[in-house]
Chains A and B, each alone.
Chain A
Amino acid sequence: MKFVLKNGVTREQAAELAKAMFEKCYSTSQTMAVNSEFSHAFRILSGLVGAFANIEFCEAETFVQHVRLFSAASQGLGRSREEGRILMHYCINAICETFPDYSIFRVRNDSYSASIPILIYLDNWLACEDSKLEDIV
Chain B
Amino acid sequence: MMNWEIVLMSGVTEEQANDIATAMIQKCGEIASTMPASSSLSRAFTGLMNFVTILARKDSRKGGVVEREMEKFVELAETIGRDSIEGRLLMKTCVKTLNRAIADAKVFRIKVENDFMDSVPILTVLYRQLGWVKAVEY
Chain A contact residues, CB within 8 Å of chain B:
24, 27-28, 31-33, 35-39, 78-83, 86-87, 90-91, 93-94, 97-98, 129
How many residues of B are in contact with the other chain, CB < 8 A? 26
**A97 engages B97 (CB within 8 Å):** no
**Interface membership of B10, Cβ < 8 A:** no
CB distance B90 to A90 under 8 Å?
yes
Q: Name B85's closest neighbour in chain A (CB-CB).
A: A86
Q: Which of B13-21, B30-38, B50-58, B68-76 makes up part of the contact surface?
A: B30-38
Picked from B31, B81, B86, B90, the residue with its CB within 8 Å of the CB of A31 is B31
Q: Is the interface of A mostly helix, strand, loop or mixed?
A: helix
Asked if B2 is an interface residue, CB under 8 A from chain A, the answer is: no
The distance from the CB of B106 to the nearest CB of chain A, in whole angstroms, is 14
**Shortest CB–CB separation between residue B88 and chain A, in angstroms?**
11
Residues B38 and A32 in contact, CB atoms below 8 Å apart? no
A98–B35 touching, CB < 8 Å: yes
Extra contacts, 13 of them, besides A38-B94, A39-B97, A97-B38 (Cβ < 8 A), are A28-B31, A33-B97, A33-B101, A36-B100, A37-B93, A38-B97, A83-B89, A83-B135, A86-B86, A87-B89, A90-B90, A97-B35, A97-B39
Residue B97 contacts which of A37, A82, A86 (CB distance < 8 angstroms)? Answer: A37
Give Cα distance in the complex from A33 to B27, angstroms: 10
Question: With A and B bound together, what is the CA distance between A94 and B39 in angstroms?
Answer: 5
Counting CB contacts under 8 A, is B41 at the interface? yes
Top 7 closest pairs, chain A to chain B, by CB: A33-B100, A79-B135, A36-B97, A94-B39, A97-B36, A33-B101, A97-B39
What's the minimum C-beta distance from B101 to chain A, rounded to whole angstroms? 4
Can you list 16 pairs linking A and B with CB atoms under 8 Å apart?
Answer: A31-B30, A31-B31, A32-B100, A79-B135, A80-B134, A82-B138, A86-B89, A87-B89, A90-B40, A90-B41, A93-B41, A94-B35, A94-B40, A94-B42, A97-B38, A98-B39
| CB-defined contacts of B1 to chain A, threshold 8 Å | none
A79: chain B residues at CB < 8 Å are 135
Which residues on A sit within 8 Å (CB–CB) of B31? 28, 31-32
A80 to B135, CA, bound (A): 6
Closest CB of chain A to B86's CB: distance in Å?
Answer: 6
**CA A129 – CA B137 in complex, angstroms?**
9
Q: Contacts A36-B100, A82-B137, A83-B135 known; A93 to B93 CB distance under 8 Å?
A: no
